[in-house]
Structure 1
Amino acid sequence: MTGDNGSMRASDGDREAVAQRLRAALDEGRLTVAEYDERLQQAFAATTYGELVPITADLPEPTPPKKSKDLVKREKRKRKQIKEWREWGGVAVILCGIWLVTSIASGELGFFWPMIPLGIWAAVILSGLVSGGGGGKSERSGD
Structure 2
Amino acid sequence: MVDPNRGGMRASDADREEVAARLRTALDEGRLTITEYDERLQSAYGATTFGELEPLTRDLPVPEPSAEVVAREEHEEKVSKEWRDWAGGAVIMIAIWGVTSVASGDLKFFWPAIPLVIWAAIAVAMTIGGPGKRD
Instruction: Give the TM-score range, shorter chain.
Output: 0.5 to 0.7
Q: List 4+ stretches of structure 1 deviating above 6 A.
A: none
Shift of the alpha carbon at 1:33? 5.0
Kindly name which structure, 1 or 2, has the bigger radius of gyration based on alpha carbons.
Answer: 1
| Superposition map of 1:25-64 within 5 A | 28=27, 29=34, 30=36, 32=38, 36=42, 40=46, 56=55, 60-64=58-62
Partner SS for 2:127: helix
Gaps of 5+ in 2: 28-33
Closer/same/farther in 2, CA of residues 31 and 69 from structure 1, 3 Å limit: closer
Alpha-carbon deviations, 1:3-62, whole Å to 9, x = none? 7xxxxxx74x1x639x949x648755425459946xx4xx66x9xx8xx7xx94x86345
Q: Percent identity?
A: 36
- Give the equivalent residue in structure 2 for 1:92: 90
Closer/same/farther in 2, CA of residues 35 and 66 from structure 1, 3 Å limit: closer
How far, CA to CA, are the matches of 1:109 and 1:66 in structure 2? 57
Q: What is the count of residue pairs matched by the alignment? A: 116
How far, CA to CA, are the matches of 1:123 and 1:79 in structure 2? 18
Gaps of 5+ in 1: 4-9
Alpha-carbon deviations, 1:62-110, whole Å to 9, x = none? 5443221111111111100110111111010000000111111111211
Partner SS for 2:76: helix
For the 8 Å contact 2:82–2:123, the answer to whether it is kept is yes
Determine if the alignment matches structure 1 residue 110 to structure 2 residue 108. Answer: yes
